[in-house]
Structure 1
C-alpha cells in the first residue's frame, strides 16, 4: 500500500517533543555563561590597605610572579621599618592565602544570584499487544527565587564585605606584628652590644685585679671573683647572640623570607622616635571609626538581619510552576484481509460485491477525532501545615540578638585595649626618660667611682663587681623600656585600626616633652 503524504499537523506532532526538549536544554545552558571575576575585589582591597597603612604596595594575586623580585629589591640595601612592613604585605604566605577567601566569597555572591535549575521530566509506557506507546514530558521551574534571590544576594554581599574586612584587619595585624618583631630585633641587637660591653668591662676589671695581685696588693680570691664575673659575662654574651638570631628568624618568618639567604640587615637605629600619645578619648574615637573588626561586626549584624527576612520568606519554601504534555498511546490496527472482507460483503449482498472502502475524507475525519496529544500547566505549592519555619525564624532572631550583644562587647573590648595600650605607652615613655636622664648616668658614675677606689685599694673587689652588675642590669632595663615604648606604639596603632590620631591636633598637652630623649648606646 502507498502511504498518504504527511500533513503539517502530523509533522508538528512529531517535532513537538524534540522542540520542547531543545528549548529546555537551551534554558539550562544560560546560567553556564556566568563567570566569577574577583579581580575588582582584589584591587579594591589592595587600595583600602594602602590608604590605611600608608604603604607603597601590597600583594596582588594577579601579579604573584613579580613578588620575589620586589622583595629582593627591598632587602638589597638594608631593611628599614617601613620596608619590613612593605615586605610582609607582599610576601607573607598566610596573608597571601587570605586573598583567595575573597574570591570564594565573590563566588558565593554570584551563586546567590542564580535561579534554581529547572526540572525536565520525560517518561514512556509501552502498551500490550503492540502499537504506539504513551510518551509524557514536563518542564518545571522554582518561583520562590523571585523574592528569595534579592535577600540571598544581600546576605552574600554582606559576607563578602566581612571577608574583605577580615583581610584588611589581618593586614593591620601583620603590619603591627612586623613592627614589633623589627623592634625586637633592634632590641636584641642592643642587648647583644650591652652584653659584649659588659664582657669587655669585666675583662678590664680582671686585668686590674691581676695587676694588683701581681703587686701583692690583693688576694687571689679577689682575682678569682673577678674571673668568675668574666665567665658569667661570656655566658650572657652567648645568650644575647642566641636570642638575637632567634629574633631575626622570627622576623624572617613573618616576612616570608625564612627560607632565603640570611644576608639582609636592619637599617634603622634603636632610638626614641619622639611620638606623643593622644588622649584616650581621641584614641577611642579613632578606633571606633577605623577598626575593621568593628566593621566586621556591623556586617555580621546586617547579614543576620537579612537572614531573619529570608527565614520569614521560607514559610512557603517551594512554589513550582511548569508545563506538561502527553502523547497518548494508540493500539496498532490489524492488517486488512481483502478476500475475507470481499466474501463477507458478497454473502451479505447475495452477489459478488467489493468490500466497503473509506474515502480519504472519511479517514481524515476519523483521524481528527483521535486525541493524539495533551498539553497543560501545573502549579505545585508546599503548604505550611506542619512546619511554618517558626523554629528557623526564632533561631535567626536569636542569632541576630546575639550578634548585637557581641558587637556591644566588642566596643567594651576596644575601649579596654585602647586604655591599656595608651597606659603602657605613657608608662614606657616615662620609664625610658627616667633611665636616660637619671638611672644610667648614676650607674656610670658609680662604676667609675668603684674602679677608682678599688684601684687605690680603698674598696674591696666586691664593690666593683656589684657596681658592674648593677650597670649591666640597668642598661638592660633601659633597653627593655625603650623596646616597650616602641612596641606599645605598634600595639596602640593596631588597637586604633592601623592609624593613630594626630596628638598635636587633639588639644592634648605636650606632657611627654621631657621624654623625647634619643637613646644612646
Structure 2
C-alpha cells in the first residue's frame, strides 16, 4: 500500500510538472491591429529582442526628416517609455490567465511517532490530499481571466489612442507658435527699421518726442513678443520630447514650417455619437468590467451554501506491529458561519457601481463628441472668416495708413495702431488655424478612431 501511495504521488507530480510548463506568451497582435485600423500607425512592444534594433532604426529614420503630426505620433508609438511600461500590463494579464488554468499543488503530510518503551516500532503516517473543488471552477476561472486579458488589451489600446491625440495636440500648438514666431521676426525687423528712421527724423527735428517714443515702444514690444513666443516654443518642444521619448542629440529635430492646409471639404459629421458609442475602446472596457463583476456575483450567489473547499486524498498509517492501514480522506470547509454575506454585498455594490460608471462614461462620450464637433466647425468658420475678411481688411488698412503717413496725412501713432491691428489679426488667424487641427484630433479621439469610413466595433467577449 505504501508503494501505491508513492506511485500516486509520482503521477500527481508529473501532472504538475506538465501544467507548470505553460508560460504566459504575450500576444500583442490584437492591439497592433486595433491601432493600425484606427490610426494607420504602427505600434511595437519592446521586449529586448532583435526587433528592438529595427524599431530604433525606424525612429532614427523618422527623425532625419521634417516631422509632421503623423510622423511625430508614430515616433511616440515606437519610443514612448511610459507606453511601453503600460504594455507590460498585457504580459501580467497573460500570466494571470496561465495561472488561472493551473490546479493548486497537492498537500503532502507525514508524521512519525516513537514509542516510549519496548518492544514496539515507530508509528508512521503519510497522507496526500488535493482540493478537487477547483476542478469545478477551473473553466470559469479561465474564462474570467481571459476576459480580464481582453479588457486589459482594450484599455491599453485606448491609452495608445490617447497618446496619439496628445502628441498631435502639442505638435499643432508648437507648429502654430513657430509659424507665429516667424511672422513676429519679420514684424520686429520692420519695427526696428521704423524706429531707426524715426530717430533720424527726430534728430533732424522732423519728428516729435512722442513719435520717437511710440516707434521705440513698438520695437521693444515686438522684441518682447519674440522672447515670450520663443520661450513657449521651447516649452512645447520639451513637452513633445517627453511624449516622443527623446533625449540627447535626438532632440534636435525639425518640423514642417506651416500648419497643414484646411481641407476644402469637411468629412461627414453625421452620426458621430453613434460611431463613438460603437467603437470607443474605454467604453468597451467598461462593458467588460460590468460583465465580469456580474459573473462573479452570480457565481458567488449560487455557491454560497456549498463547501468553500473539498479536499480528497489518501492516508496510510503503519502501525508498530508493521501493519499498514490505508484509506481515503475527505476534508470539507462547511459554510456554517460565513456564507459569503459580506462578499456578496460587496460584489452587489461593485456591480451597481460599474453600471453607473458605464452609463456616466457613455453620457460623457456623447458630450465630448458634440463639443469637439462644434469646435471643429467653429475653427473652420473662424479661419475662413479671418483669412478672407478680417486679415485682408487689416492689411489694406495698414497699407493705406502707410501711404498717408508717407504723405504726412497720418501720424506715427496711427501707423503704429494699424500695425498692431494687422499683427493681432494675423495672430488670431494662426490660432484659429491651430484650433481647427486640434479640434480635429480631439474629435478623432472622441469617436475612437477615424471620422469616416469603417466603424470599428470592439468584439471582445468576456
Q: Does TM-score exceed 0.5, indicating one fold? A: yes
Shift, 1:57, TM fit? 5.0
Q: Is the 1:179–1:487 contact (alpha carbons within 8 Å) kept by the matching residues of 2?
A: yes
Partner of 2:266: 276
Counterpart Cα distance in 2 of 1:502 and 1:117: 52
Is 2:277 aligned against 1:288? yes
Tell me which of 37, 40, 43 is aligned to 1:54: 40
Shift, 1:261, TM fit? 3.4
After superposition, residues 98-497 of structure 1 pair within 5 angstroms as 98-130=86-118, 131-210=120-199, 212-213=201-202, 216-267=205-256, 269-274=258-263, 276=266, 278-279=268-269, 281-312=270-301, 313=303, 315=305, 316-330=307-321, 372-497=323-448
| Distance change (3 Å), C-alpha of 1:196 and 1:268 | closer
Counterpart Cα distance in 2 of 1:33 and 1:314: 34
Partner of 2:449: 498
Shift, 1:221, TM fit? 2.6
Counterpart Cα distance in 1 of 2:117 and 2:141: 54
Shift, 1:297, TM fit? 0.7
Partner of 1:4: none
Counterpart Cα distance in 2 of 1:264 and 1:376: 77
Counterpart Cα distance in 2 of 1:21 and 1:166: 43
Counterpart Cα distance in 1 of 2:379 and 2:11: 75
The unaligned stretches of length 5 or more in structure 2 are 455-462
Secondary structure in 2 aligned to 1:261?
A: helix
The unaligned stretches of length 5 or more in structure 1 are 1-11, 331-370, 504-521
Deviations 1:186-213 (A, max 9, x none): 1011110121122123124324424543
Moved more, 150-159 or 91-100: 150-159
Q: Is the 1:432–1:481 contact (alpha carbons within 8 Å) kept by the matching residues of 2?
A: yes
Counterpart Cα distance in 2 of 1:487 and 1:17: 72
Deviations 1:318-365 (A, max 9, x none): 1111111111113xxxxxxxxxxxxxxxxxxxxxxxxxxxxxxxxxxx
The alignment covers a number of residue pairs equal to 448
Partner of 2:30: 44
Q: Is the 1:59–1:89 contact (alpha carbons within 8 Å) kept by the matching residues of 2?
A: no
Secondary structure in 2 aligned to 1:116?
A: coil
| Distance change (3 Å), C-alpha of 1:291 and 1:259 | farther
Moved more, 316-325 or 144-153: 144-153
Counterpart Cα distance in 1 of 2:433 and 2:277: 29
Instruction: Answer with 1 or 2: which has the greater Rg.
Output: 1
Counterpart Cα distance in 2 of 1:59 and 1:78: 25
Q: Is the 2:127–2:316 contact (alpha carbons within 8 Å) kept by the matching residues of 1?
A: yes
Moved more, 118-127 or 380-389: 380-389
Q: Is the 1:206–1:223 contact (alpha carbons within 8 Å) kept by the matching residues of 2?
A: yes
Shift, 1:393, TM fit? 1.8
Tell me which of 70, 88, 91 is aligned to 2:58: 70
| Distance change (3 Å), C-alpha of 1:156 and 1:314 | farther
Deviations 1:427-455 (A, max 9, x none): 11111111101111111111112222222
Deviations 1:22-46 (A, max 9, x none): 44544443432222211xx212322
Counterpart Cα distance in 2 of 1:107 and 1:251: 34
Counterpart Cα distance in 1 of 2:43 and 2:286: 28
Q: Is the 1:283–1:501 contact (alpha carbons within 8 Å) kept by the matching residues of 2?
A: no
Shift, 1:305, TM fit? 1.5
| Distance change (3 Å), C-alpha of 1:248 and 1:173 | same
Q: Is the 1:181–1:251 contact (alpha carbons within 8 Å) kept by the matching residues of 2?
A: yes
Q: Is the 2:101–2:138 contact (alpha carbons within 8 Å) kept by the matching residues of 1?
A: yes
Q: Is the 2:179–2:257 contact (alpha carbons within 8 Å) kept by the matching residues of 1?
A: no
Secondary structure in 1 aligned to 2:109?
A: strand
Counterpart Cα distance in 2 of 1:291 and 1:95: 19
Deviations 1:406-442 (A, max 9, x none): 1111110001000111111111111111110111111
Counterpart Cα distance in 1 of 2:90 and 2:109: 38
Deviations 1:350-401 (A, max 9, x none): xxxxxxxxxxxxxxxxxxxxx7111111122222211211221232122112
Counterpart Cα distance in 2 of 1:270 and 1:488: 14
| Distance change (3 Å), C-alpha of 1:396 and 1:376 | same
